[in-house]
């Protein structure tokens, strides 16, 4: 059994904890940087990226998550978590980790499409995955080492770079474990 931590400062934390347990792995709520030493992979959940970024800064998570990343431990950022792992934010000055070579536009779908659901074709998945988008970000540029896993219209909404995975939508709310399983496979079978 592996141990997955969910950053528990703010946002959609419980749903991830439940899903980790439902696939038979151990879930830990991460409230302090020292706990990163006890986990095999980290999920940065959806929520409010500016608030979460400030709290991460305040509680010393910026350097400790960067060190976790440098140890090649897998990280999964969903929604606000995708904003926080991005290297570049479009028209926004806010604390972030800068781990994945993508440019992310916060609330990228605008007011007209604040929240919606859409079936997504995801690389490596046979059947569509229900994308639940809640004031979701989108990636407007990805670097050459980034593998695009899903698009909605032309927008990039899921991607992977080495041991970092991101989704603009909320896979933990879809009643479908495949994204979680993908992340757990990254933790169990490191290729980098
Ligand atoms: N709009 C939020 C942000 O950018 C993200 C929303 C979410 O995580 N569901 O912080």
Tell whether ligand 1 has an atom less than 6 A from the beta carbon of residue 83. Answer: yes
Confidence at 119, pLDDT banded by 50, 70, 90: very high
Which residues have C-beta within 8 Å of that of residue 37, sequence separation ≥ 6?
Answer: none
> Which ligand 1 atom is the nearest neighbour of the CA of 106?
4
For residue 192, is pLDDT > 90? no
Confidence at 114, pLDDT banded by 50, 70, 90: confident
Is residue 25 flagged as an active site residue? no
E-assigned strands of 48-163?
A: 75-78, 86-89, 100-105, 115-120, 129-134, 138-142, 147-152, 155-161
Q: Give the residue, out of 44, 56, 76, 80, with the most ligand 1 atoms within 8 A of its beta carbon, to mutate for a pocket test.
A: 80
Mean pLDDT, rounded, for 107-121: 90
**H runs (alpha helix) in 46-177:** 49-58, 61-70, 80-85
Mean pLDDT, rounded, for 178-191: 95
Tell whether ligand 1 has an atom less than 6 A from the beta carbon of residue 53. Answer: no
Tell whether ligand 1 has an atom less than 6 A from the beta carbon of residue 51. Answer: no
For residue 191, is pLDDT > 90? no
Q: Name the residue at shortest CA distance from atom 2 of ligand 1.
A: 48
Q: Of how many residues is the chain composed?
A: 192
pLDDT computed for residue 115 by the predictor: 94
> Which ligand 1 atom is the nearest neighbour of the CA of 52?
10
Cβ-contact 80, 136 below 8 angstroms? no
CA distance 51 to 25: 29
CA distance 98 to 94: 11
Pick the closest to residue 126 from 76, 181, 178, 185 (CA basis).
178
- Residues β-bridged to residue 4: 27, 41
From 15, 79, 96, 163, active-site residue? 79
Q: What is the pLDDT of residues 22-75, one digit of tens each?
A: 999 999 999 999 999 999 999 999 999 999 999 999 999 999 999 999 999 999
pLDDT computed for residue 26 by the predictor: 98
Q: What is the pLDDT of residues 130-176, one digit of tens each?
A: 999 999 999 999 999 999 999 999 899 999 999 999 999 999 999 99
> What tokens does 105 get?
């536009």
Cβ-contact 165, 156 below 8 angstroms? no
Whole-number Å distance, alpha carbon 137 to ligand 1 midpoint, is 7
Q: Pick the range with the lowest mean pLDDT from 89-93, 124-128, 158-162, 175-179.
A: 89-93
Q: Which fold has domain 3-188?
A: Rossmann fold (3.40.50)
Pick the closest to residue 77 from 93, 58, 61 (CA basis).
61
pLDDT computed for residue 113 by the predictor: 79
Q: Give the residue, out of 137, 168, 171, with the most ligand 1 atoms within 8 A of its beta carbon, to mutate for a pocket test.
A: 137
Mean pLDDT, rounded, for 87-109: 95
């Amino acid at each position: 059994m592996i141990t997955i931590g969910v950053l528990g400062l703010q946002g959609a934390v419980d749903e991830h904890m439940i899903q980790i347990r439902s696939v038979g792995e151990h879930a830990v709520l991460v409230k302090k940087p020292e706990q990163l030493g006890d986990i095999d992979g980290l999920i940065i959940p959806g929520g409010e990226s500016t608030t979460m970024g400030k709290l991460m800064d305040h509680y010393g998570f910026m350097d400790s998550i960067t060190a976790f990343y440098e140890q090649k431990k897998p990280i999964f950022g969903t929604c606000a978590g995708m904003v926080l792992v991005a290297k570049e934010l479009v028209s926004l000055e806010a604390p972030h980790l800068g781990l994945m070579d993508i440019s992310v536009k916060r609330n990228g779908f605008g007011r007209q499409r604040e929240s919606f659901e859409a079936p997504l074709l995801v690389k490596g998945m046979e059947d569509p995955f229900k994308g639940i988008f809640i004031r979701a970000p989108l990636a407007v540029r990805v670097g050459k080492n980034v593998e695009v896993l899903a698009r909605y219209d032309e927008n990039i909404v899921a991607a992977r770079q080495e041991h970092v995975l991101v989704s603009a939508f909320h896979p933990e709310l879809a009643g479908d474990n495949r994204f979680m399983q993908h992340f757990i496979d990254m933790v169990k079978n490191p290729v980098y």
